């Protein structure tokens, strides 16, 4: 991202800085972009924009994504379309509601869609550093997931009406058909369709993050755990988030009793929230 674009976006986002907790910059004097990483499909980038003005400073994050019309690879297209789901997530009040429920995540400053399919999502920057998979942070992440799941417990269809996906998770059966065809002819491949049908029929539906891996989690000593990257956000039973989190991010799952302990911890947290919120 060049400086002129960073300044243009900063000026458009400025009216929301104070209300979204970015900072109290009144008049922008300069905006300096810093590249953080490319987007998953390689067509775009994630940048931090540092803004200064009259002695005050602030920063926010910009996710720039190229149009899906430029992709001719089937697998890349499946992944790339998730950015449009994330744009819809930030166009609604979903992140505001999630934050209000005590599960910190980025808040939108600006969402732009061009007729050609290019996306620009400006959002607040999360505090802290990367997730470390420690016992403490694992429990905090499970509390975050419990808050998200409790918030939409029995209300997933209302959220889906806003336009976000009715099928959460990166590893959703309908999206990963290419990977399924590449799998060996074993029991898991044969059972995949039946497992998916059982998950869809589960009565305990909510809204799931969909990609709760360590790379999408931040930790701050004061504000605790926060999640970002809501590309695969959508409706599903909470077991989808839990299975993925346990598989790639949770601490100490080398022993079966540890998994039982974490499941018990999550269930206790979820139950307390459902009772407190009278759900």
Domain ranges of the chain: 3-124, 129-276
Q: Which residue has the higher pLDDT, 241 or 255?
A: 241
> Residue with structure tokens 């407190």?
276
Report how far residue 94's alpha carbon sits from residue 173's, in angstroms, rounded to the nearest whole number. Answer: 25
256 — pLDDT class (breaks 50, 70, 90)? low
Cβ count near 154 (within 10 Å) = 13
In tens, the pLDDT along 41-96 reads 888 999 999 999 887 999 999 999 999 998 888 888 999 999 999 999 999 999 99
In tens, the pLDDT along 84-137 reads 999 999 999 999 999 999 999 999 999 999 999 999 999 999 999 999 989 999
SS3 label, residue 226: strand
In the prediction, which pLDDT does 220 show? 96
pTM of the full predicted structure? 0.94
The domain at 129-276 falls in which architecture?
Answer: Alpha-Beta Complex (3.90)
Residues 124/96, Cβ–Cβ less than 8 Å: no
Mean pLDDT value across the chain: 94
């Amino acid at each position: 991202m060049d400086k002129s674009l960073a300044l243009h976006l900063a000026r458009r986002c400025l009216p929301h800085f104070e209300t979204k907790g970015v900072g109290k910059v009144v008049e922008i004097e300069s905006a300096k972009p810093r590249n953080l990483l490319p987007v998953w499909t390689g067509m775009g980038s994630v940048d931090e924009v540092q803004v200064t003005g009259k002695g005050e400073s602030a920063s926010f994050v910009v996710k720039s994504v190229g149009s899906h019309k430029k992709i001719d690879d089937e697998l890349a297209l499946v992944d790339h379309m998730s950015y449009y789901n994330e744009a819809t997530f930030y166009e609604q009040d979903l992140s505001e509601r999630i934050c209000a429920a005590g599960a910190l995540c980025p808040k939108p400053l600006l969402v732009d869609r061009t007729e050609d399919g290019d996306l620009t999502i400006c959002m607040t920057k999360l505090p802290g550093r990367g997730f470390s998979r420690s016992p403490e942070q694992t429990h905090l992440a499970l509390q975050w997931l419990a808050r998200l799941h409790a918030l939409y417990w029995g209300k997933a269809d209302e959220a889906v009406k806003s336009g976000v996906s009715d099928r959460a998770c990166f590893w959703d059966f309908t999206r990963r058909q290419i990977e399924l065809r590449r799998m060996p002819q074993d029991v898991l491949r044969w059972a995949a369709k039946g497992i998916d049908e059982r998950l869809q029929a589960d009565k305990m539906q909510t809204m799931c993050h969909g990609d709760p891996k360590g790379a999408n989690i931040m930790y701050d000593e004061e504000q605790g755990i926060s999640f970002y990257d809501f590309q695969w956000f959508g409706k599903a039973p909470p077991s989808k988030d839990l299975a993925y989190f346990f598989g790639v991010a949770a601490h100490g799952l080398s022993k079966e009793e540890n998994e039982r302990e974490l499941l018990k911890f999550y269930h206790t947290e979820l139950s307390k929230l459902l009772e407190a919120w009278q759900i």
